[in-house]
Structure 1
């Protein structure tokens, strides 16, 4: 029953995250006015704003103008619900679960904004990073000191990669916004797991990038936002980081 409640809660949060994803890049308030159709501007009634269900009943189109509604909306809602359930499975009903739900929800917003605009909402990263640091004394998984060091190491590592790449190639590889994302992730996972999160992000990013290039017939200079892969690396590290490190260090031993 608690997983069902978590799933429904995640769907509702996902609906709100969709608002954030749409409005934050435009500099609009995320609390007012009420949601409306981007095409015709008609206010969306509550019965047309039920996560996933309304999308299916409306067959993915606005009730008023018939314009197609982006598939991103139910995808974000279902993804948020699923990841919420996983956090509950990992940490149970605890302060730690609330702590890592903050990270999860922020990473979802950042990832989809990065996919849509190729830009990272720096202010959101900054405030979420501060939340990770300030709330760290309340959880057992990361200490205040490790949180501060994690944010510093995460940002510093990405900045080092950016500057080194620029020196040797004369071009910009990763964006500076990625440093903000890694600082945010580092604040929640601690400095010890920053390299693991970055390795997972790079591995997944390489696989997806190569697949995209082969599928679309693009060359290797195509620009692909790295924020979503950093988010994947951070989330996987939260869930499986300890086991992955134990497996790796055990193998070395």
Structure 2
């Protein structure tokens, strides 16, 4: 384990995470809308219909932030991560509509997780890669929670980056990364088809296969079984709690991607310690 980073670097990572979290909110909200509009345009092109009539939603980078209700452009001080939402008391300054709790939660999560990454890995390329890994998982989780989609535009770069980092190797060797990516994908793909053949229903989305493959590319074969078990446990606890509180209907599908992402991040940060604790507890070490 690398030497722990000084507190100033951990605090700086937290601030950076808050700032990135603000951008992640934009990605979570705007990327699915733009994807849907592009799909509609492509469908119109295939059918020979007029596609220009389909207006694209605001872009992710260029268009400034605005209230989703009154469309008023937000002032710079309203966009201060976490603090802006608190100062506005969760309501738009102009139309007084409620601002989703998602905004401060994503920013806070990004800040805390970024600080943990730098605390865990110190300063260097490992921490930089870990931050990208963390931010991508947060964006994917937010999108999946809202839309039950895991966009290829985010999953594939995560997968390819994990494979490229194995060339160094930063976390695992190339052979381990490639093998784990393939087995990670095929394992959930097999579960998907067995479940569909037995029940006639789809138990999970194809994005879940790709996400587990990406995690395998980053962490190797040793992560796959723990991630699947942890994600299932987290999903069961969260789903059971939400249904008990009547926050989620039993027949309504629940996205599994956020649980895979959460389990993958936990194993990325503390997997070695968790494995050592398990082996010590069972007497295998």
Q: One fold, TM greater than 0.5?
A: yes
- Of the two, which has the highest radius of gyration? 2
Do the aligned partners of residues 117 and 137 (structure 1) sit closer, same or farther apart at CA in structure 2, a change above 3 Å counting? same
The match for 1:234 among 254, 264, 268 is: 264
5 Å matches for 1:35-46?
35-46=65-76
Do the aligned partners of residues 126 and 217 (structure 1) sit closer, same or farther apart at CA in structure 2, a change above 3 Å counting? closer
Do the aligned partners of residues 219 and 56 (structure 1) sit closer, same or farther apart at CA in structure 2, a change above 3 Å counting? closer
Give the whole-Å Cα distance in 1 for the aligned partners of 2:247 and 2:265. Answer: 30
Q: Is 1:4 matched with 2:34?
A: no
The match for 1:60 among 81, 90, 93 is: 90
In the TM superposition, what is the alpha-carbon distance from 1:185 to its structure 2 partner? 1.4
Q: 1:21 matched to which residue of 2?
A: 28
Q: 1:91 matched to which residue of 2?
A: 121
In the TM superposition, what is the alpha-carbon distance from 1:205 to its structure 2 partner? 0.7
Q: Quick check: 2:231–2:262 contact (8 Å CA) kept in 1?
A: yes
Give the whole-Å Cα distance in 1 for the aligned partners of 2:121 and 2:10. Answer: 12
In structure 2, the residue corresponding to 1:138 is in which secondary structure?
Answer: coil
Question: Structure 2: which 5+ runs fail to align?
Answer: 1-7, 35-57
Please list the CA deviations of residues 44-81 of structure 1 after superposition, one character each: whole Å capped at 9, or x if unmatched: 12111100111111111111111111110000000000
Give the TM-score normalised by structure 2: 0.84
Please list the CA deviations of residues 148-170 of structure 1 after superposition, one character each: whole Å capped at 9, or x if unmatched: 22221211111011011112222
In structure 2, the residue corresponding to 1:137 is in which secondary structure?
Answer: coil
Question: Structure 1: which 5+ runs fail to align?
Answer: none
Please list the CA deviations of residues 20-51 of structure 1 after superposition, one character each: whole Å capped at 9, or x if unmatched: 11111011531111111111111112111100
Q: 1:173 matched to which residue of 2?
A: 203
